[in-house]
Amino acid sequence: MTGVQVIAVLSTFIPFAGMASPQASNSCASCHPAQAKTQSATGMAHALELVEACEILKTHPVLVFQEAAFHFQITRQGDKSIYTVTDGKRTFRAPLRWAFGLGSAGQTYVYEINGDLFESRVSFYSSPGGLDFTMGDEKIKPQNVEEAAGRPMFDREARQCFGCHSTASVARETLRLDSMIPGLQCFRCHSDSERHALALTSGDLKGAEVRKLTKMSTEQTSDFCGQCHRTWQQVSLSGTLGVNNVRFQPYRLTNSKCYDGADRRIGCVACHDPHQEVVHQVSWYDSKCTACHAAAAHPAAQVCKVSKKDCVTCHMPRIDLPGAHKKFTDHQIRIVRNSDPYPN
Contacts of ligand HEC in 264-303 (CB under 6 A): 265-266, 268-272, 274-275, 277-278, 280, 285-286, 288-293, 298, 300-302
d(CA 133, CA 279): 29
- Contacting ligand HEC (CB under 6 A), which of 114, 197, 283, 321? 197
Closest by CA to 107, choosing from 115, 98, 116, is: 98
Q: How far is the CB of 182 from ligand HEC (least distance, A)?
A: 11
333 interacts with ligand HEC by CB under 6 A: yes
- 41-70 positions binding ligand HEC, by CB under 6 A: 43-44, 47
User: Alpha-carbon distance 326 to 332, whole Å?
Assistant: 18
- Residue of 22, 103, 150, 182 interacting with ligand HEC (CB under 6 A): 103
- Please answer whether residues 329 and 316 qualify as being in contact, where contact means their C-beta atoms are separated by less than 8 angstroms: yes
CB-wise, 102 or 148, nearer to ligand HEC? 102
Alpha carbon of residue 48 to chain centroid: 8
List the one residue from 80, 90, 156, 308 that touches ligand HEC (CB under 6 A): 308
**Residue 344 contacts ligand HEC per CB under 6 A:** no
Closer residue to ligand HEC (CB): 89 or 337: 337
Q: Does residue number 1 form part of the binding site for ligand HEC (CB under 6 A)?
A: no
Residue 338 makes CB contacts below 8 A (sequence gap 6+) with: none
Q: Toward ligand HEC, which CB reaches closer, 206 or 280?
A: 280
CB of 314 closer than 8 Å to CB of 323: no
Map the footprint of ligand HEC across residues 5-34, applying CB under 6 A.
25, 27-28, 30-32
Q: How many CB atoms lie within 10 A of CB 222?
A: 23
Q: What residues contact 21, with CB distance under 8 A and at least 6 apart?
A: none
